[in-house]
Chains A and B, each alone.
Chain A
Amino acid sequence: MRESLFIFGVNHRTAPVAVRERLAYPEGEIVAALARLKEAAPTIDEVALISTCNRVEIMGVTTAPDRAQTEATDFLAGDRGVDATAFAPALYTHQARSAVRHLFRVGASLDSMVVGEPQILGQLKNAYAQAATAGTAGLVLHRAFHKAFSVAKRVRKATLIGHGSVSVSSAAVGLAAKIFDTLTDKTVLLIGAGQMAELTARNLKRLGVQSLLITSRTFDNAVALARKLDGTAVPFDNFRPYLKLADVVVGSVAAAAPVIGPEEFEGVIRERRYRPVFMIDLGVPRNFDQRLNALENVYLYDIDDLSTVVRESIGDREREAEKAEGIVDLEVDSFLKWLDGLELVPAIKDIRSSVEQLRELELERHRAWLAGLAPGERERIESMTRGLVNKLLHRILSGLRDGRAGIPDGVHAAEIARRLLSTELAIEGGALIDDDRDEDDDL
Chain B
Amino acid sequence: MNTAWLIPALACYALSATGFTMERAGMHSRLARWAIPMLAAGAALQTGDLLMRGIRAGNVPVTNFGQSLVFLAWLTALAGLVVIVRMRMPVIGVYVAPIVFVVLALEAATMRQAHLAMPQTLRSVWLPIHVTLALLGYALFVIAAGVSLVYLVYERRLKAKRPLMPTDERTPSLEKLDRINYRLLGWGFLMLSLAIVTGAIWADATWGHFWSWEPAQSWTLVIWFLYAGLLESRLTVGWRGRRAAALTIAVFTVLVGSFVGVSLLATGKHGGNFG
CB distance from B152 to the nearest CB of A (A): 13
CB distance from A223 to the nearest CB of B (A): 32
Contact B240 A275 (CB under 8 A): yes
Q: Give every chain B residue within 8 A of A179 (Cβ-Cβ).
A: 158, 173-175
Inter-chain CA distance A276–B179, complex, in Å, is: 12
Inter-chain CA distance A164–B241, complex, in Å, is: 25
Q: Give every chain B residue within 8 A of A235 (Cβ-Cβ).
A: none
Report A231-263 residues with CB < 8 Å from chain B CB: none
Q: Give every chain A residue within 8 A of B166 (Cβ-Cβ).
A: 160, 163-164, 316, 320
Contact A181 B179 (CB under 8 A): yes
Inter-chain CA distance A163–B237, complex, in Å, is: 38
Q: Is B238 an interface residue (CB 8 A)?
A: yes
- Among residues of A, the one whose C-beta sits closest to the C-beta of B171 is A178
Report B1-46 residues with CB < 8 Å from chain A CB: 28
Known A273-B237, A273-B238; contact A160-B169, beta-carbon cutoff 8 A:
yes
Q: Give every chain A residue within 8 A of B158 (Cβ-Cβ).
A: 175, 178-179, 299
Interface stretch among A304-312, A362-370, A400-408?
Answer: A304-312
- Among residues of B, the one whose C-beta sits closest to the C-beta of A312 is B164
- Among residues of A, the one whose C-beta sits closest to the C-beta of B239 is A274
Partner of B173, one of A164, A180, A293, A313: A180
Q: Is A165 an interface residue (CB 8 A)?
A: yes
Contact A309 B163 (CB under 8 A): yes
CB distance from B192 to the nearest CB of A (A): 25
Contact A181 B163 (CB under 8 A): no
Q: Give every chain A residue within 8 A of B168 (Cβ-Cβ).
A: 178
Q: Is A431 an interface residue (CB 8 A)?
A: no
Q: Give every chain A residue within 8 A of B171 (Cβ-Cβ).
A: 178
Inter-chain CA distance A179–B238, complex, in Å, is: 17
Q: Is B56 an interface residue (CB 8 A)?
A: no
In this complex, the member of A174, A180, A297 whose beta carbon has the largest number of chain B beta carbons within 10 angstroms is A297
CB distance from A182 to the nearest CB of B (A): 8
Contact B169 A163 (CB under 8 A): yes
Inter-chain CA distance A181–B181, complex, in Å, is: 14
Contact B242 A309 (CB under 8 A): no
Q: Give every chain B residue within 8 A of A180 (Cβ-Cβ).
A: 173-175
Q: Give every chain A residue within 8 A of B237 (Cβ-Cβ).
A: 273-274
Taking residues whose C-beta sits less than 8 angstroms from the other chain, chain B's interface range is 20 to 34
Inter-chain CA distance A117–B168, complex, in Å, is: 20
Interface string of A261-300 (1 = CB under 8 A from B): 0000000000011111000000000000000010011010
Q: Is B86 an interface residue (CB 8 A)?
A: no
Interface string of A295-337 (1 = CB under 8 A from B): 0110101000100110011001000100000000000000000
In this complex, the member of A272, A274, A293, A296 whose beta carbon has the largest number of chain B beta carbons within 10 angstroms is A274
Contact B164 A313 (CB under 8 A): yes
Q: Is A416 an interface residue (CB 8 A)?
A: no
Q: Is B176 an interface residue (CB 8 A)?
A: yes
Q: Give every chain B residue within 8 A of A384 (Cβ-Cβ).
A: none
CB distance from B74 to the nearest CB of A (A): 30
Q: Is A158 an interface residue (CB 8 A)?
A: yes
Q: Is A177 an interface residue (CB 8 A)?
A: yes
Q: Is B172 an interface residue (CB 8 A)?
A: yes
CB distance from B83 to the nearest CB of A (A): 15
Report A181-201 residues with CB < 8 Å from chain B CB: 181-182
Report A149-180 residues with CB < 8 Å from chain B CB: 158, 160, 163-165, 174-175, 177-180
Known A178-B158, A179-B174, A181-B173; contact A276-B241, beta-carbon cutoff 8 A:
yes
Inter-chain CA distance A297–B168, complex, in Å, is: 19
CB distance from B187 to the nearest CB of A (A): 19
Known A163-B169, A175-B163, A312-B164; contact A274-B238, beta-carbon cutoff 8 A:
yes
Report B220-275 residues with CB < 8 Å from chain A CB: 237-243
- Among residues of A, the one whose C-beta sits closest to the C-beta of B154 is A178
Contact A274 B161 (CB under 8 A): no
Contact A301 B239 (CB under 8 A): no
Contact A293 B174 (CB under 8 A): no
- Among residues of A, the one whose C-beta sits closest to the C-beta of B240 is A274
Report B150-184 residues with CB < 8 Å from chain A CB: 158-159, 161, 163-164, 166, 168-169, 171-176, 179
Q: Give every chain B residue within 8 A of A308 (Cβ-Cβ).
A: 161
Known A163-B166, A178-B163; contact A275-B173, beta-carbon cutoff 8 A:
no
Inter-chain CA distance A309–B160, complex, in Å, is: 11
Report B44-93 residues with CB < 8 Å from chain A CB: none
Inter-chain CA distance A179–B174, complex, in Å, is: 5
Q: Give every chain B residue within 8 A of A274 (Cβ-Cβ).
A: 237-241, 243
Known A175-B158, A180-B175, A181-B176; contact A164-B164, beta-carbon cutoff 8 A:
yes
- Among residues of B, the one whose C-beta sits closest to the C-beta of A271 is B238
Partner of A305, one of B161, B175, B243: B161
In this complex, the member of A160, A179, A316 whose beta carbon has the largest number of chain B beta carbons within 10 angstroms is A179
Q: Give every chain A residue within 8 A of B179 (Cβ-Cβ).
A: 181
Contact A276 B238 (CB under 8 A): no
Partner of B241, one of A293, A296, A316: A296
Inter-chain CA distance A297–B246, complex, in Å, is: 13
Q: Give every chain B residue within 8 A of A182 (Cβ-Cβ).
A: 175
Q: Give every chain A residue within 8 A of B173 (Cβ-Cβ).
A: 177-181
Inter-chain CA distance A273–B168, complex, in Å, is: 28
Contact B164 A309 (CB under 8 A): yes
Inter-chain CA distance A309–B172, complex, in Å, is: 19
Contact A276 B239 (CB under 8 A): no
Q: Give every chain A residue within 8 A of B242 (Cβ-Cβ).
A: 296-297
Q: Give every chain B residue within 8 A of A160 (Cβ-Cβ).
A: 166, 169
Contact A174 B164 (CB under 8 A): yes
Inter-chain CA distance A165–B164, complex, in Å, is: 9
Inter-chain CA distance A369–B161, complex, in Å, is: 94
Contact B172 A181 (CB under 8 A): yes
In this complex, the member of B164, B172, B176 whose beta carbon has the largest number of chain A beta carbons within 10 angstroms is B164
Contacts A181-B176, A274-B239 supplied; 6 other A-B pairs, CB < 8 Å: A158-B28, A179-B173, A180-B175, A274-B241, A316-B164, A320-B166
List 10 contacting pairs A-B, 8 Å CB cutoff, sorted by A: A174-B164, A177-B173, A178-B168, A180-B175, A274-B237, A274-B241, A276-B241, A299-B159, A309-B163, A309-B164
Which 5 pairs, one residue from A and one from B, show the smallest C-beta to C-beta distance? Answer: A273-B238, A181-B175, A181-B176, A297-B241, A181-B173
